[in-house]
Amino acid sequence: MPFPKFLTSALVLLAAGALASCKKTDLVANNFTSNGSASPVTATYRDTAVAYAREIYLWNDQIPTSFSGASYSDINALMTGLRQYSQESGFSGPVDKWSFAVPKAEWDHVSGGTATGDFGFSVFFRSASDLRVKHVEVESPAGLAGVRRGWRVVKINGSSNISTANTDYVVQNVFQSANTTFTFAKPDNSQVTLSLNASTYREHPIIKDTVLQEGGRKIGYFAFNSFMGDSLTVLGGFRTAFSRFVSAGVNDLVVDLRYNGGGYVYMQEALANYIAPMSANGSVMMKQQFNARNSAYNETTNFHKLGALNLPRVIFIVSKSTASASELLINNLKPYMETVLVGPGATHGKPVGFFPIPVQDWYIFPVSFRTVNRNGEGNYFNGLPVNATIADGLDKDWGDPAEASLSAAINYAVNGTFRVAGRSSDAPSADGSLNAVNSRLERPGIRGTFDTRGLRH
């Protein structure tokens, strides 16, 4: 992966200083230790990671001189420890929840849209004893077996003891097992038992695009799960979907980002350019801001309109899993069109991003920049609030007009109100313990706003 050119010079100097005392023979001789403790070379690279952080961490002026790599067992622990130095005016406690490090091999898989070692589906408790399939990757073991969003999990390895009280069992067998047998109940109440084996597969961020006709209006629906993956496939998918919307003459657009945890800035730019009205062309999309030491590299990005869609409003379906580049998209469009948000609650709250910085066989990701829109709006560390609090309709598949959040979006597009009279099922759960359990069922993965100017399209 190309490294951001604008920081290369500074970081090369830092690396040279950090490694000046290491000879090539030392790197080989000290690569292993008999007692399993950190070798001198490992300690050196931890120090290098600290040096990088002192240079580009967004809150680098808060890092004390006493902060040292020697206090941490590995580079990821070091990046986690860095988070405590991120105080922001108006917020209590550190705001950085994201700085991290990951082995290069893992990042190369994830950033390219390859998942490894799981079944390719995620789950969510609708109630204490109702476990539903939340999302399925089409090329995954679950997807190839025909599993669909909305199916109910009634047995795991023959056991029907599936409840929030048994969450550890669910997590172990859905996310951490090499093979598991599941019994699912379909919407027609028929059941199917499937034995799944974990494998490697390609992820498809574009879940669904279709045109719905409701109340005399044509509504484009675009469900998008990640701003990462194969760029040619994703950007080509944008082009195909929005050409379809234009050809159909859609009156409204619903963009479903409920599980989209972010990804590449350049993919966000492309999608924003398809959604934005013609009037935004040439105007400021966003401003990327670095710490005071690197403020010379602050950058303004303008809209360069793509496609012919020209709508005054966009409706987003969101949740607390909607993060980073997804929130950036919404914030960037706000000055130019009506942005309406529906879903169970506010978005995640990550108005900052990072770059992959190579350190030995790892990439480190210290938060390095913030973004604001044309109006200077950003700092949404508490998330972007919804206009209507609507449940995630986990009993329905993607694009089903009867699904609670999509139904609310459609109703707003047609009638200007979110709820259908007499429907109480649209309200999300207020059960704090249920919500806490479901937070444990988030599918493991790397999410965020990642920028590398060498990858911009």
pLDDT digits (tens, 9 = 90+) for 230-253: 999 999 999 999 999 999 999 999
The model's pLDDT over 126-158, given as tens digits with 9 standing for 90+, comes to 999 999 999 999 999 999 999 999 999 999 999
The dihedral formed by the CA atoms of 11, 13, 16 and 21, expressed in degrees to the nearest 10? -120
| Segment (H or E) for 302 | strand 299-302
Burial letters 359-373, b for 16+ CB under 10 A, else e? bbebbbbbbbbbbbb
Residue 55 to residue 70: CA distance in whole angstroms = 18
pLDDT mean across residues, the chain: 88
CATH number of 118-202: 2.30.42.10
Residue 48 has pLDDT above 70, yes or no: yes
Which pLDDT score is estimated for 439?
85
Name 363's bridge partners: 102, 358
59-68, 300-309, 363-372, 411-420, range with the lowest pLDDT: 411-420
Residue 38 has pLDDT above 70, yes or no: no
Burial letters 408-423, b for 16+ CB under 10 A, else e? bbbbbbeeeebbeeee
The model's pLDDT over 324-351, given as tens digits with 9 standing for 90+, comes to 999 999 999 999 999 999 999 999 999 9
Q: 3-class SS at 163?
A: coil
Residue 1 has pLDDT above 50, yes or no: no
Q: Give me the helices (H) in 186-344, please.
A: 231-248, 265-275, 325-333
Strand 369-372 with 352-353, pairing: antiparallel
Candidates 311, 318, 332; CA nearest to 409 is: 318
The answer to whether 118-202 and 206-351+371-449 have equal CATH topology is no
- Cβ neighbour number for residue 222 with a 10 Å cutoff: 25
33: pLDDT confidence band, cut at 50, 70 and 90? very low
Question: What's the whole-number mean pLDDT along residues 6-27?
Answer: 43
Residue 409 to residue 405: CA distance in whole angstroms = 6
Task: Select from 2.40.10.220, 1.20.58.220, 3.60.15.10, 3.90.226.10 the CATH code of 206-351+371-449.
Answer: 3.90.226.10
The model's pLDDT over 388-442, given as tens digits with 9 standing for 90+, comes to 999 999 999 999 999 999 999 999 999 999 976 445 455 666 566 888 888 888 8
Residue 336 to residue 313: CA distance in whole angstroms = 9
| Domain residue spans of the chain | 118-202, 206-351+371-449
Which is more confident, 19 or 336? 336
32: pLDDT confidence band, cut at 50, 70 and 90? very low
Which is more confident, 254 or 7? 254
- Rounded to 10 deg, the angle between the 265-275 and 325-333 helix axes is 30
The model's pLDDT over 173-213, given as tens digits with 9 standing for 90+, comes to 999 999 999 999 999 999 999 999 999 999 999 999 999 99
Name 359's bridge partners: 362
